[in-house]
Structure 1
Amino acid sequence: MAKVSMREVADHAGVSVGTVSHVVNGSSKVAASTAEKVNEAIDELGFVRNAAARQLRSGHSSSLGLVVLDTSNPFFASVAHGARQACDESGLSLLIGDSGTDEARESKYVDLFAEQRVNGLLVTPTGSDLSQLESIAGRGTPVMLVDRASNGYALSSVTVDNVAGGRMALDHILAGGCMRPAFIGGPQSLPQVADRLLGARERVAGSGLDLPVFGTEELTILAGRNAGEKVVALPDGERPDAVFCANDLLAVGFMQAVLMFSDLRIPDDIAIVGYDDIDYAFSTIVPLTSVRQPAELLGRTAVETLLQENASVSSEHHDREFTPELVVRGSTRPI
């Protein structure tokens, strides 16, 4: 079926094309009775407003673009939920891209959203080079980093103190009497993972304890289970008595390996701490101790801060950092 034009709507309603344009764009210049005739013509003919053309005229759309590392990760799903709620309250729509921790894919989404003239971009970057985002911000599209600090780039950010979170996890593990902690996770090229490991290493520094790292290429349940199989196969004297996992998905997979492939008891023989405190962390077979990030608040704050900066005449950038919280459950030893 051919698209109905604004001219056809105008002829059907007996008004000018300009009048139809005013009605479609919500102008108050048209009398109520005339607007009613135009809207009846729109409904009868099935006219659909050309949003792309309107964006070209106005120079921007009514959308924000969000690019995250993995939409299947409940943490990023919660971030997106918080961002969407803030967008709804501001009359904006949210476009979501999943980079899959692939820098080239992330770059494509960023370019695509910028070409669509979104009102702003919210991005959790994969790599350390943020020059593309800085360039886009310099050309007039506001950019907000989510779950990632700006680290000297001229960009605003909303993040969590992951170094402090790593220290919290190890503080709790050591307070429970564990003396052979280990770190599970990767890739360490992700600043979030590197910072959590840094905090954990800071906590054991000077204690005489080692912190072996069992690296993973992904932050998934399967990667955690694979790492867990390697750990439980170690001899008793070499096997960690506690693990700090870089996120909850790894921790869930690690827990599966312990329960499926060994007779080890959680937390008596091996304690497990995750990170993020995703919704089902409390409902695992052994409820998971985790370092909680305020995921929905991150998404909401990112949108609200970006819109505030968009409305401001100042070019000042803002870095907002939240403090994580340790949530203790059954996967770690009581203190």
Structure 2
Amino acid sequence: MAAVNVRDVAALAGVSLGTVSNALNRPDRVSPSTLRRVHDAIDKLGFVRNDAARQLRAGRSRSIGLLVLDIGNPFFTDLAEGAEDRASEAGFAMLLGNSHGSAARETAHLALFEEQRVRGMLISPVAEIWPQVTRLRTRDIPTVLVDRAISDTSFSSVSVDDVAGGALAVEHLLSIGRRKIAFVGGPTKIRQVADRLEGASRALNSVPGATLEVLGTRALTVLEGRRIGELITARAPGARPDAVFAANDLLAVGVLQGLTMVSNLRVPDDIALIGYDDIAFASATVVPLTSIRQPSTLIGRTAVELLLAESENSADYEPQQVVFAPELVVRDSTALVVAEPVLAG
């Protein structure tokens, strides 16, 4: 049986092909009665328009590509939700890709999005991808970097000041009297990790006698955090840090497990612990987790707004670099323990 096409709809509705096209794409140009006849014909025939073919003819689609570092990280899930909500409000669909920290997967996703002729791309890059995004621009595909600051002001970006966030985390640990601090995170080729470590180092340099030990990880996962926590637990008491700053909350959750599941170590009494991102799960851990909050949903929404602005006004658009300030959220994992007064008998 042959597929139903636009000509069949036009014939049944008693209108021209142009009227059917307007009913599908510009309904404001069609009278209500004619629009009703066209849609009645569509329903009766079971017509489904070929959007892929239409987009190829137009050269543009109603979709936006979003490429994130790790969709398993709730931070990126929340970011994607914010981006998808804003895109949907503007009549766009969101195509999601997950590089999983792999430059090869990142390149493959970028190529696939380009083949789909997306209206634009939002990218949280693994490393340096300027040749790729420059090439996308020459093909009229605007790109906005998300969760990543950029020195090239010819591109738009939405990020959080991670250097300030790293400093905020360590300043808090220093304020509660901790002096042997371990930074847990990696790989440092990820710009966000490097920036948070830089901020931590700057804050530590202002306090004489304080030390910062870097404990690298292969990934930003709970399992890697647990591995580091177990390594710390295996040390002699005097060789352990008295505080840990984890580069994200997943690592911090793993460190918490490694410190407390197979030992008598207490958080925060023996080792204070702070994470980064303030994912929803951070407040629900066995010891509620202090964290540096990022406005993840707002980052996603803002990135789509910048992308739409550039797409709709490409000739006159001035790229923007939006940088949000991080926020310290204090919970039990760094809470100061105040001894109760001893009452005289």
Shorter-chain TM-score tier: over 0.9
Q: For 2:114, give the aligned amino acid.
A: A
Matches within 5 A, 1:96-111: 96-111=96-111
Amino acid at match of 1:224: G
Give identity over the alignment, percent.
52
Contact 2:182 2:243 in 1 (8 A): yes
* Distance in 2 between residues matched to 1:302 and 1:266, nearest whole Å: 37
Counterpart code for 1:41: A
Counterpart for residue 26 of structure 2: 26
Q: TM-score, normalised by structure 1?
A: 0.95
- State the shift of 1:232 in Å: 0.9
Equivalent residues in 2 for 1:224-303 (5 A)? 224-303=225-304
- The more displaced of 103-112 and 254-263 is 103-112
Paired residue type of 1:255: L
**What residue number does 2:65 align with?**
65
1:56 Cα offset (Å): 2.0
Give the secondary-structure state (helix, strand or coil) at the position aligned to 2:65: strand
Partner of 1:180: 180
2:197 is equivalent to residue 197 of structure 1: yes
- Give the secondary structure class of the aligned counterpart of 2:238: coil
Offset, 1:294: 0.6
The residue type equivalent to 1:301 in the other structure is T
In structure 1, distance between residues paired with 2:127 and 2:2: 45
Task: Tell me how far apart the structure 1 counterparts of residues 129 and 141 of structure 2 sit (CA, whole Å).
Answer: 18
**For the structure 1 residues 27 and 259, does the alpha-carbon distance in structure 2 shift closer, same or farther, using more than 3 Å as the test?**
same
Equivalent in the alignment of 1:211: 212
What's the RMSD between the two structures over aligned residues? Answer: 1.6
Name the amino acid aligned to 2:286: I
Q: Which amino acid aligns with 2:289?
A: L
Q: Do the aligned partners of 2:294 and 2:326 also contact (CA within 8 Å) in 1? A: yes
* Counterpart code for 1:282: S
Please state if 1:322 is matched with 2:324.
Answer: yes
Deviations 1:235-255 (A, max 9, x none): 111111100000000000110
Deviation at 1:272, TM superposition (A): 0.4
**Residue 158 of structure 2 corresponds to residue 158 of structure 1:** yes
State the secondary structure of the residue aligned to 1:94. strand
Secondary structure of residue in 2 paired with 1:144: strand
- Per-residue deviation at 1:281? 0.6
Q: Secondary structure at the match of 1:250?
A: helix
Q: Match of 2:341?
A: none
Give the TM-score normalised by structure 2: 0.93
Report the CA distance between 1:120 and its aligned residue.
1.3
Matches within 5 A, 1:85-96: 85-96=85-96
Q: Deviations over 1:55-88 (max 9, x none)?
A: 1232211121111011111000110111112112
Once residues 28 and 283 of structure 2 are traced to their aligned partners in structure 1, the CA distance between those partners, rounded to angstroms, is 53
Structure 2 residue identity aligned to 1:324: P
Report the counterpart of residue 149 of structure 2 in structure 1. 149
Q: Deviations over 1:158-190 (max 9, x none)?
A: 000000001011101111111210000111000
Name the counterpart of 1:334.
336
Decide which moves more: 306-315 or 157-166: 306-315
Determine if contact 2:273/2:289 at 8 Å carries over to the other structure. yes
Secondary structure of the equivalent of 2:291? Answer: strand
Q: Which residue of 1 aligns with 2:343?
A: none
> Residues 27 and 35 of structure 2 are in contact (CA less than 8 Å); yes or no, is this contact kept in structure 1?
no
What is the rounded CA distance, in whole Å, between the counterparts of 1:173 and 1:225 in structure 2? 21
User: Structure 1 residue 171 and structure 2 residue 178: aligned?
Assistant: no
Q: Contact between 2:245 and 2:273, CA under 8 Å: does it hold in 1?
A: yes
> What residue number does 1:220 align with?
221
Deviation at 1:47, TM superposition (A): 0.5
Over residues 208-229 of structure 1, what are the superposed CA-to-partner deviations in whole Å (9 max), with x where a residue is unaligned? 3321111111111111001111
Asked if the contact 2:153/2:321 (under 8 Å) is kept, the reply is no
CA distance in 1, matches of 2:164, 2:28: 53
Choose 314-323 or 280-289, whichever is displaced more. 314-323
| C-alpha separation in 1, matches of 2:19 and 2:287 | 65
The alpha-carbon deviation at position 2 of structure 1 amounts to: 4.5
Letter aligned with residue 253 of structure 1: G
Aligned ranges 1:24-63 → 2 under 5 Å: 24-63=24-63
* Contact 1:134-1:155 at 8 Å conserved across structures: no
Give me the whole-angstrom Cα distance separating, in 2, the residues matched to 1:205 and 1:8: 75
Return the letter of the residue paired with 1:39. Answer: H
Partner SS state of residue 240, structure 1: coil
Other structure's SS at 1:96 match: strand
Q: Is the 8 A contact 1:134 1:153 kept in 2?
A: no
